[in-house]
Structure 1
Amino acid sequence: MMPGDSDMTSIVQRIARQALVTYRSPPRVGEEAGKTFLENHAKLRSLMTEVRAADLKLAPRRAAGSPPGVPPLHHGAPPVTYMHICETDHFSMGVFLLKSGASIPLHDHPGMHGMLKVMYGKVRIRCFDRLERPAGSPQVAPPLPPAQMGSLRRSVLRSTGEFTEESGPCVLSPDRDNLHQIDAVDGPTAFMDILAPPYDPDDGRDCHYYKVLTEAEVKHTEQKEQEVWLMEVSQPPDFWCGGEPYPGPEVCL
């Protein structure tokens, strides 16, 4: 328990304080994490494992009616909304709410750590990393016009998994699982999200979007990760994020 905490302190407040301690001095990109960071990160992960929708005063939402086979996304309404909880120079914390059938497209988190915990519903997350050096068998770049070749990123699909409120957090770092796509599965969903440090285009932390062009065939049975080519694209026109008030306990830092 943090100094000054009591049984009355909300778990949201405890998570925010632990996030501040954890990410105040994170390891640099490519630098091995030290013992203190790993210990603090484990404490934060443990707290995130415990938090539930009721702690944030979130009520699970039901999918709006729609014809069979048509995702219930209302024209003109954002497919994704965000509840801001708090933000410092070291981290931001909030809740993303996805309507049934919605998706947060494949995107990156340059130089950032992150932790995601589902509050209700189910999400499918595909995690990728960029490959700076050859890994495994060499890949030939897909044929593209010369003007588009600079948008290609040689990458690897690290994992695909489904997460519910009973799952532990999905964790990313600057070097691992840094690009991901998040899809709502079987109805509306919401997840609590911590990013450290926050996005800041002026400091080189802007969000970039990608699409998968090719997935290499895995020729060796022991090779579980698939090499892929990603192409940087503009923000997809069918994705945008609105805002709504956060109903949960206030956080003071």
Structure 2
Amino acid sequence: MKPRESSIMSSLVQRIARQALVTFRQPPHSFPEEHSQLLGLLSQVRAADLRLAPPGSRPPPPRGAPPVTYMHICETDHFSMGVFLLQSGACIPLHDHPGMHGLLKVVYGKLRVSCFDKLDRGPEPGAPRPSRPQVGALRRSVLRSSAEYADDSQPCVLAPDRDNLHQIDALDGPAAFVDVLAPPYDPDDGRDCHYFRVLQGAELRESHEREVWLMEIAQPLSFWCGTEPYPGPEVRL
């Protein structure tokens, strides 16, 4: 094997991607052990593994720059992986991940991640899916947790039936995290991103479960996401 190929295959990012593929191409009920191995690898990743410049060395964002930037690493039919960069004080609004598993690992800075679940009963088996988001619809939900994560924290984990909605806030400066979603968003297959607002019943600093009402909203005008090239090791799948 050529030295460059050896370097690609041995990088931590490559190993995470390979393990994600092994984990999520299996039926969900059969992957607990593989999922645990993926968590173990992802818990090791740091900004240096992605060749991300430390936040203090990055130039100040120009006026009008997006509050959040995405770096795409890789995607298959089974999962997607990338890096989100948040400016100081930026927020990824409360949103869902229909039928999806997810892992979030902070690589620099500090985030507050507030996780919710809908309590409404889902559609009956065989019922047609709604053709479009129902903006304005109310959802009885529960705030599962609100916790702070730093680069030495374990990954935040979401599942189709637990912690599936979350809001992400950058605390005390800029922050970045690796994001793994399985399967990827696909509006044609019912996996579109919907946004919500908490109407009553909880402050997002609370750390205990509490019932709330959420209203589905259009994407907030204050939130948009730019893109940057991923500077880290190449991933081959």
Bin for the TM-score computed over the shorter chain? 0.7 to 0.9
Out of 64, 69, 73, the residue aligned to residue 81 of structure 1 is 69
Residue correspondence of structure 1 range 86-97 to structure 2 within 5 A: 86-97=74-85
| 2:56 counterpart SS class | coil
Checking the alignment, whether the CA contact within 8 Å between 2:8 and 2:233 is kept in structure 1 is no
> What's the offset of the Cα at 1:132?
2.8
- Percent identity between matched residues is 71
| 1:50 counterpart SS class | coil
Distance 2:56 2:50 in 1: 18
Q: Which has the larger radius of gyration?
A: 1
| 1:199 counterpart SS class | coil
Q: How many residues align?
A: 217
| 1:62 counterpart SS class | helix
* Pair 1:236–1:90, CA change in 2 (3 A): same
What are structure 2's unaligned runs of at least 5 residues?
122-133
Map of 1:161 onto structure 2: 147
Distance 2:142 2:232 in 1: 38
Map of 1:220 onto structure 2: none
Out of 89, 92, 104, the residue aligned to residue 92 of structure 2 is 104
Is residue 209 of structure 2 the alignment partner of residue 225 of structure 1? yes
**RMSD in angstroms over aligned alpha carbons?**
2.5
> What's the offset of the Cα at 1:64?
8.8
> What's the offset of the Cα at 1:6?
8.8
* Pair 1:38–1:167, CA change in 2 (3 A): same
Map of 1:10 onto structure 2: 11
Out of 72, 88, 106, the residue aligned to residue 118 of structure 1 is 106
| TM value normalised by structure 1 | 0.80
Distance 1:149 1:202 in 2: 18
> What's the offset of the Cα at 1:5?
8.5
Distance 2:138 2:57 in 1: 37
Map of 2:128 onto structure 1: none
Out of 38, 50, 54, the residue aligned to residue 32 of structure 2 is 38
Map of 2:131 onto structure 1: none
Letter of the structure 1 residue corresponding to residue 167 of structure 2: Q
Checking the alignment, whether the CA contact within 8 Å between 2:115 and 2:166 is kept in structure 1 is yes
Map of 2:221 onto structure 1: 237
* Pair 1:228–1:5, CA change in 2 (3 A): farther
* Pair 1:44–1:235, CA change in 2 (3 A): same
| 2:10 counterpart SS class | coil
Distance 1:55 1:197 in 2: 24
